[in-house]
Amino acid sequence: MMKIIGKTNINFVSMRYKFFALSGLFILLGALSIFYKGLNLGLDFVGGTMIQLRFEEKLSIEELRSALKKNGVEASIQSQEGNVFVIRVKGKQENVNEEANKIISATEKIGKKFTEEKRDYVGPIVGKDMAKKAIFAIILSLFGIIVYVAFRFSNPVLGTTGVIALAHDVFISLAFMSFTNREIDLVIVAALLTIAGYSINDTIVIYDRMRENIKKFPKMPIDQLINTSINETLSRTIFTSLTVIGVLFILYIFGGASLNDFSFCMIVGSISGVYSTIFIATPLAYEWEKRN
């Protein structure tokens, strides 16, 4: 069988401090961006105006979104059967009519007849409840991962370092959402949870190989064992990750505006997941073992 990537012998452990510093820099920049610039929370979390329009002629979401953007209206659009569109815009309750009139004015310029079926204010209550549940789910998942990895590998250090790498990936994804001022809604929360699962799965593959190598070479120094395990799984890690990232890039380019933020967040998280598995999780395990 032909191998695209041959056997490698890279000393990953020796480079750990450089990558710890690199991650620390991104975390610091991300923290500063989130603290000073903040996160661009979507309507799910802050509330806003909701208006429902029914068109007499067929209209695409892209046509409607383009017309709204040309008139300075940034909106979330959902299509329904019968040429019905639900348009949501962030804003305060007292500005419902003002925001709705902006939408109506922009939509009239399309030149297709429509009727307004509903106009209302959407509060952030559901979003806040979902956010609390998402945070609880993440915390519970992190605890479960630590317990699972500790039980599976008879080593709580591996579970803890895996969770640190996972948290690193989620935070880096949030940081890039802040850098680029992209909107964070419940879809992005789902992306962050997906990133967490992808990250820990990639890490466990290397931990599995480490466990196998410990049985094969019980007297091998821990740094050599880690380097050997990473090098042996490197081809699998790269090609699996490239497959995922390739699909996400296709979604990002051709998926339209509705999938743009989701695919961007997933791309950042997937790249960070590969990076943290090799340069954060396993080197942290080595650092722990070396100091204890």
- 18-35 pLDDT, tens per residue? 999 999 999 999 999 999
Looking at the fold, whether 280 and 209 belong to one and the same domain comes out as yes
In this prediction, residue 126 carries a pLDDT of 56
Count of domains in the chain?
Answer: 2
**Residue 28, domain CATH:** 1.20.1640.10
Looking at the fold, whether 231 and 280 belong to one and the same domain comes out as yes
Q: What is the pLDDT of residues 69-115, one digit of tens each?
A: 888 888 888 888 778 888 888 877 777 888 888 888 888 888 888 88
122, 143, 162 - which closes a domain:
122
Looking at the fold, whether 134 and 187 belong to one and the same domain comes out as yes
In this prediction, residue 3 carries a pLDDT of 52
Looking at the fold, whether 160 and 262 belong to one and the same domain comes out as yes
Residue 281 covered by a domain: yes
Looking at the fold, whether 71 and 137 belong to one and the same domain comes out as no
Burial class of residue 100 in the structure, from the number of CB atoms within 10 Å of its CB (0-12 exposed, 13-18 middle, 19+ buried): buried
Helix (H, G, I), strand (E, B) or coil at 60: coil
Residues of the chain with pLDDT under 50: 1-2
In this prediction, residue 111 carries a pLDDT of 84
Question: Is-contact 199 166, C-beta < 8 A?
Answer: yes
Structure-token pair, residue 219: 């007297």
Measure CA of the first residue to CA of the last residue in the chain; give whole Å.
Answer: 43
In degrees rounded to 5, what are phi and psi of residue 184? Answer: -110, 115
Nearest to 38 by CA among 194, 182, 166: 182
Looking at the fold, whether 160 and 238 belong to one and the same domain comes out as yes
**Residue 68, domain CATH:** 3.30.70.3400
Looking at the fold, whether 60 and 167 belong to one and the same domain comes out as no
Q: Which residue segment(s) compose the domain that 283 sits in?
A: 13-41+126-291
Residue 3 covered by a domain: no
Residue 103 covered by a domain: yes
In this prediction, residue 113 carries a pLDDT of 87
In this prediction, residue 2 carries a pLDDT of 43
Residue 4 covered by a domain: no
